[in-house]
Chains A and B, each alone.
Chain A
Amino acid sequence: MLRLVGRRLLATIPTLFGVLVVAFLLLNVVPGDPVAEMVGERADSATISRLRAELHLDDPVPVQFGHYLWGVVRGDLGRSYITQRPVLGDLAERFPKTLQLAGAAMLLAVACGITLGVLASIRPGGWIDRFSMLIAYVGVSFPVYWVGLLLILLFAVALRWLPPSGYGGIAFLVLPALTLGMRSIAFLARMTRGAMLDILPSDFVRTARAKGLGERRVIGWHALRNALLPIITVLGLDVGNYLTGSILTETIFSWPGVGRYVLLAIQKRDLPAIQGSILFLSVIFVLVNLLADVLYAKADPRVAYD
């Protein structure tokens, strides 16, 4: 297992390098001028050309890339053109908040999604099944943006149970976590139901029942464990997506996370902030995928990587 992890970690280096190259090239092709965003609506051309020179924006692209790469190797992601603060510090400040939101959303998704899926699979076609599949349809089909605003209007404006937006205690977490986790709840419920329906007719499930185990133990212990593989796949992808920031949810709920940071950086053509974020988020994504692979092997001993 250690060898697997080590090998996979080594393999991430070319991946990340590739990400950097592509990001750098793309940002050079995309229209929009970072200096124009720095100077605002009205500027004199002398200031613009001075800033371009200071930021080495007139250097050839390979030279600029070399500059940047050298910084990255030393652990320096540069400073934001707009705020002049170090990008790494900005990300470190926001990532825990994204992690918190992602964690809450995931927790909600696992708790609700798997429960709904398992309950639905026990009596296919029964009312619980129909109800949970309805929820799953709704969750997959409704746009995040719309659901978020609706939740705000209901729970914050009409009922006044929860604050509409902002970052703070657990009360602030409920609505954004629900909005963000909704899709996963729906997806996991369908996934779990499907996997369970495949597993339940198996011989070993019949054996478990035959040897006199309670239904609860048969379903929760024997069947569910064997249905976990596809669930881990879905979870792994979702965690990766959530941890890289969810622009819509963070924007609607004024959540000070990574997603909004990246969005603003892109809008302002803040090159160091965009590149730094892409690199940082790629690392997170790669790590989460690695974790999911390790969990595969743990959940199903038949999965062998060596």
Chain B
Amino acid sequence: MLRHLLRTVNLFDTAKRVLFLCVLAACGGRTGGGGQAGGRGLVYYERDDPRSLDPALSTDVTTGEMIALLFDGLTQFDGDGRLLPALSDRWTADRTGQRYVFHLRPGVTFQDGRPLVAADVKRSFIRVLNPASHGGRVWPLLPIAGAADFAAGRAPDVRGIEVLGDSAVAFTLTEPLAIFPKFLAMPVASVVPSSVPTDFGQHPVGTGPWRFVAWEHDDYLRFAKNPNYWGGAPLGDSLTVRIIPEALTRAAEFQAGRISVVEVPFGETKKWEQEHPDWLKRKPALRAVYVPLNNRRGPLRDRRVRQAINHAVNVPEILRTVWNGRGALAAGAIPPTLGGSDPARLPYAYDTTEARRLLRAAGYPNGFSLQLWRSGTNVEMGRVAQAIQAQLAAVGIQVEIVSRDASSMREAVRKGDTDMAITDWWADYPDADNFLYPLFHSASFGPGGNYSFYGDRLTDSLILVARRTVDQAAREALYRRIDDRVFQAAPWIYLWFPVDLWAQHPSIDGWDVSVIFNGQHWTKVRVAPGR
């Protein structure tokens, strides 16, 4: 008995000691990125780890934001969404808008010292299109003649890319495309050095304002300023990007002074507006919150029903209460800050009498039932869905809310298996085309972005005509016309364009909200002296 007891004692003591030593060793081993993220450097955050730091794998916002720090394309966006020269300092298009020549900015070097040459541009694009890269987001390059064939393995080369010496590259497109220079500002069109190691996604080398230093997955990424940046070295010395998934934790990190900026959490809007108005920065986002009404299902096939639904929902009320007023009412799909939006157009008025009249006219005097899908993880959208449900019930439309995780919902919506779904659309590039072609062209049904399956021949052809129109004013006039035509057909419940609300910590200055995810380069931001 005693022998057993003694053995037990020893075993327990040993186990405890081992456990303790493990913990001690693990704790004492290093002081992590989180620990030193504060101090004098600039600290930003992301919700999730980026996929990779390889531009070829840039398919999401997080990855795109990181790529924009490390790499440049031929063109770029600034924080207000303006198209600016980047690696190319000037470009010309022929009169049809089908052939572009981009001249490279002289004297640009990669962060490893290699000079940038025109052949790098071609190799970078080929690399993205190459099926071996498993890219997934090749569409910005597909307008180039021969790109689709190459991506499908049907051609050995992309015939539409022509290297003109060391300092220029010409693109021939399959058809005229006025916004092609904007496509080239997308992260996936970034220029990478000629020979790329297999672990490029972990150890990237670009021409961008920030140089890669370290990446601890799910913890932080660290960048140092590129002193040789062609656009002038960033004002800050270092930039840390911490991965903080929880919104309230981010707010706490910000209040503890350990991150430089933070998006104000939804539930805290009023509190922050009252307590720290001097910290806040607002900017209308290039983002639309809407409910696609499946134009091919049941009563929703009838435009009068869709219009009735728009009249039955009190959007201003929901925006004010549920969304804390952080948005502008939508009277169309093009955000008001983009050319082509029509400030004179009025939103659908909240008018239940008119809604009932339209429903009667469509043959549904007693209403009907519909499903409204929402993503279970998005609390705010869920609350909007509930408000819509309650208001549609008032005109006799019974709405069942279906809550699924984001991935399941996306699949169902893309297959056209949902009546309605509450969702949003973020701009890939700041142009009205990005709110029309993906959302309303029939070629974009499902995965392309047209979740309402709105199909209209005239709309289709007008969108294509606009894409080919080089003259900016004429193009914008076309967009107004298209947006108006679609708006009358009411393929969505038009909700609002959100206004981003961020707080900037008093310890830094020079930061501003960017309307487009890859327009934030952190070059003008610095730690405020003496604060």
Residues of chain A having any CB pair with chain B under 8 Å = 30-33, 35-48, 50-51, 54, 82-85, 90, 93-94, 96-97, 99-100, 103-104, 106-107, 110, 149, 152-153, 156-157, 160, 163-173, 225, 251-254, 256-257, 260-261, 264, 267-269, 295, 298-299, 301
Bound Cα distance from A264 to B31, whole angstroms = 26
A170 in contact with B252 given A103-B19, A256-B243 (CB within 8 Å): no
Please state if B23 and A166 are interface contacts (CB–CB under 8 Å): no
Bound Cα distance from A51 to B57, whole angstroms = 13
Please state if A38 and B136 are interface contacts (CB–CB under 8 Å): yes
A42 in contact with B438 given A47-B136, A163-B35, A267-B406 (CB within 8 Å): yes
Please state if B136 and A166 are interface contacts (CB–CB under 8 Å): no
Please state if B139 and A43 are interface contacts (CB–CB under 8 Å): yes
Please state if A100 and B412 are interface contacts (CB–CB under 8 Å): no
A165 in contact with B249 given A99-B22, A103-B19 (CB within 8 Å): yes
The 3 closest A-B pairs by CB, nearest first: A166-B34, A168-B32, A32-B407
Please state if A169 and B28 are interface contacts (CB–CB under 8 Å): yes
Please state if B405 and A267 are interface contacts (CB–CB under 8 Å): yes
Output the least CB separation between A154 and chain B (Å).
10
For B37-66 the 0/1 string (1 means CB < 8 A from A) is: 100000000001101100001011000000
Contacting residues, chain B, for A104 (C-beta < 8 A) = 23, 27
Residue of A nearest to B21 (CB): A103
Q: How many inter-chain contacts with C-beta < 8 Å in the A-B complex?
A: 212
Output the least CB separation between B17 and chain A (Å).
11
Bound Cα distance from A93 to B218, whole angstroms = 10
Does B256 sit at the interface, judged by CB under 8 A?
Answer: yes
Residue of A nearest to B449 (CB): A42
- At the interface with chain A, which of B3-11, B93-101, B357-365? B3-11
Bound Cα distance from A139 to B239, whole angstroms = 39
Please state if A43 and B447 are interface contacts (CB–CB under 8 Å): yes
Select which of A42, A83, A99, A153 is within 8 A of B26 by beta carbon. A99
Please state if B408 and A31 are interface contacts (CB–CB under 8 Å): yes
Number of interface residues of B (CB under 8 A): 78
A45 in contact with B35 given A51-B136, A96-B26 (CB within 8 Å): no
Output the least CB separation between B118 and chain A (Å).
27
Interface of A, helix, strand, loop or mixed by DSSP: helix
Please state if A39 and B131 are interface contacts (CB–CB under 8 Å): no
Please state if B426 and A172 are interface contacts (CB–CB under 8 Å): no
Residue of B nearest to A301 (CB): B4
Select which of A172, A256, A269 is within 8 A of B217 by beta carbon. A256
Contacting residues, chain B, for A169 (C-beta < 8 A) = 27-28, 30-32, 35
Output the least CB separation between A193 and chain B (Å).
20
A164 in contact with B151 given A32-B405, A157-B255, A298-B11 (CB within 8 Å): no
A39 in contact with B447 given A164-B252, A165-B34, A260-B245 (CB within 8 Å): yes
Residues of chain B having any CB pair with chain A under 8 Å = 1, 4-5, 7-8, 11, 16, 19-20, 22-23, 26-28, 30-37, 48-49, 51-52, 57, 59-60, 131, 134-139, 142, 148, 151-152, 201-202, 216-220, 242-246, 248-249, 252-253, 255-256, 258, 377, 404-408, 410-412, 414, 425-426, 428, 438, 444, 446-449
Please state if B148 and A172 are interface contacts (CB–CB under 8 Å): no
16 pairs from A and B in contact (CB 8 Å cutoff): A33-B411, A41-B426, A42-B448, A46-B148, A46-B151, A83-B201, A85-B201, A100-B26, A100-B27, A103-B19, A104-B23, A110-B16, A152-B248, A156-B256, A166-B242, A298-B8
Output the least CB separation between B199 and chain A (Å).
9
Please state if B35 and A172 are interface contacts (CB–CB under 8 Å): yes
Please state if B19 and A40 are interface contacts (CB–CB under 8 Å): no
Given contacts A36-B414, A42-B444, A149-B248, 7 further A-B contacts (CB under 8 A): A32-B405, A42-B448, A43-B137, A44-B138, A167-B34, A256-B218, A261-B218
Output the least CB separation between A268 and chain B (Å).
7
Please state if B256 and A160 are interface contacts (CB–CB under 8 Å): yes
Contacting residues, chain A, for B57 (C-beta < 8 A) = 83-84
A83 in contact with B52 given A168-B33, A172-B32, A254-B34 (CB within 8 Å): yes
Bound Cα distance from A170 to B34, whole angstroms = 12
Output the least CB separation between A260 and chain B (Å).
6
Output the least CB separation between A195 and chain B (Å).
16
Contacting residues, chain A, for B426 (C-beta < 8 A) = 41
Please state if B136 and A40 are interface contacts (CB–CB under 8 Å): yes
Please state if A295 and B11 are interface contacts (CB–CB under 8 Å): yes
Residue of B nearest to A299 (CB): B8
Please state if A45 and B19 are interface contacts (CB–CB under 8 Å): no
Contacting residues, chain B, for A107 (C-beta < 8 A) = 19-20, 23
Contacting residues, chain B, for A94 (C-beta < 8 A) = 217-218
Contacting residues, chain A, for B405 (C-beta < 8 A) = 32, 267
Please state if A251 and B26 are interface contacts (CB–CB under 8 Å): no
Please state if B23 and A103 are interface contacts (CB–CB under 8 Å): yes
Please state if A254 and B8 are interface contacts (CB–CB under 8 Å): no
Contacting residues, chain B, for A173 (C-beta < 8 A) = 27
Bound Cα distance from A260 to B468, whole angstroms = 46
Please state if B142 and A168 are interface contacts (CB–CB under 8 Å): no
